[in-house]
Amino acid sequence: MLAPSRTREKPPVPASGAWREGDSAGRRRFADLGAFDLEAGERLPAVRVAYETWGELAPDGSNAVLVLHALTGDSHVTGPAGEGHATGGWWEEMVGPGRPIDTDRYFVVVPNVLGGCQGTTGPSSPAPDGRPWGGRFPFVTTRDQVAVEVALTHALGITSWELVIGASMGGLRVLEWALLGPEADIEVRNIAAIATTAQVGGDQIAWSHPQLAAIRMDPRFRDGDYYTAPDGEGPHAGLSVARQIAHTTYRSAFELDNRFGRLPQGGEDPFAGGRFAVQSYLDHHGDKLARRFDANSYVVLTESMLSHDLGRDRGGVENALTQITARSLVVAVDSDRLFPPSQSARLVTWIPGADPLRIVTSDHGHDGFLVEFDQIGPIVAEFLAGE
């Protein structure tokens, strides 16, 4: 895991003049933030962040909201497909004019995460020698990802966040933000941590293990250096299998049994080489991700999630949680078997003054945060209104 851990005294703030705003692509804009020393000891000599914004920053800077996406999400939290985006926003019902995170009122910023494949520096970005980083891309932690988001915040001239909100892997960063933001002189007034945890545990590491193996064992993975492979092919099969394993954990056993049960897929016969419908469903989600996501980023981001331990170098999880000063909302999905409600309850127990745990009722498991807008929307709106 991590090389000898060292506590960063302050997240890196680029020296004056190191930051410059880059060009844009569609709605996305780019910020070049300079070099970053990573928690595990390596250095990224040049970090670029792709981000999108909605709304206007108030003259006193008091209305900024940071939305942090999950594993395969991106900066396109709302808005139509097109302008560089293959799909519409992944939290369309949550962010926009008159929606729970109201862009008529708030200035909403959504960065793409460090290590991803949507414009922020990641394994497919060029290394200093001009070739893609590929398998040479360094190990990054949740804290490194937040350190980059802290630098983006400074670069945008934002000194306080009214709300930092995210689910799943986004929620991991929300919790780090609650501690690293104030250390970097950025006020974090409210946090909303949805379907997430303070410390990735044995069950989550276990589910990740065969996903990482599926990608690495694909002969087309080539130790991560497949971008320039002669046949132009990457480890799509391995990535698809990884997604199928993950997707099973994103949905509930109840849903899979009741929605698909033992139904065969279309005209296929499962006893004669055909598939059950649930197998076809997983094939579909696996193939769809393999067409839109980079396998190296999947590996880097999965490993960054495994690094997540809010208590590392902070005297343990509970001690770390007690240092959170933001007003805090914690939301769990009752059928989430990946980030179970017990892990959310732990947050509420130890974050001083946290609102009572809000439980979303859903058959859809962890993915409830992407489905149950009728419940999550009012919960977030009520939390913001209650400030």
Active site residues: 168, 336, 366
Which of 44, 65, 71, 282 binds ligand HSE (CB under 6 A)? It is 71
Tell me whether residue 312 or residue 364 sits nearer to ligand HSE (CB atom). 364
CA distances to 28, 64, 80, 352 from 104, in Å: 20, 12, 18, 31
Cβ proximity of 145 and 48 under 8 Å: no
Give the footprint of ligand HSE on residues 235-254 (CB under 6 A). 250
Q: Is 380 exposed, middle or buried (0-12, 13-18, 19+ CB in 10 A)?
A: buried
91 lies in the binding site for ligand HSE (CB under 6 A): no
Smallest distance, ligand HSE to C-beta of residue 330, A: 16
When binding is defined by CB under 6 A, the residue of 28, 29, 48, 69 that contacts ligand ACO is 69
Query: Minimum distance from CB of 4 to ligand HSE (Å)?
Result: 30
Whichever of 90 and 339 has its CB closer to ligand ACO, that residue is: 90
Site for ligand HSE in 339-368 (CB under 6 A): 367
Site for ligand ACO in 116-135 (CB under 6 A): none
**Smallest separation (angstroms) from ligand ACO to the CB of 265:** 6
Shorter beta-carbon distance to ligand ACO: residue 141 or 168: 168
Say whether 68 sits in a helix, a strand or coil.
strand
72 binds ligand HSE (CB under 6 A): yes
**What is the distance between the alpha carbons of residues 199 and 196, in angstroms, rounded to a whole number?**
9
- Report the partner that residue 371 touches, choosing among ligand HSE, ligand ACO, none (CB closer than 5 to 8 A by kind): ligand ACO
What residues have CB less than 8 Å from 127, skipping those under 6 apart?
Answer: 133, 136
Does 259 carry a binding-site annotation?
A: no
Determine the Cα–Cα distance for residues 12 and 284; give it in Å rounded to an integer. 41
The least CB distance from residue 79 to ligand ACO, in Å, is: 14
Measure the CA–CA gap between 11 and 139, rounded to whole angstroms. Answer: 17
Nearer to ligand HSE, 73 or 123 (CB): 73
Ramachandran region, residue 259 (left: φ > 0; alpha: ψ -120 to 50; beta: rest): alpha
User: Long-range pairs for 92-95 at CB < 8 Å and ≥24 separation?
Assistant: 93/373, 93/377, 94/373, 94/376, 94/377, 94/380, 95/54, 95/67
- Residues lying near ligand HSE in the complex (CB under 6 A) are found at 70-73, 168, 250, 367, 370
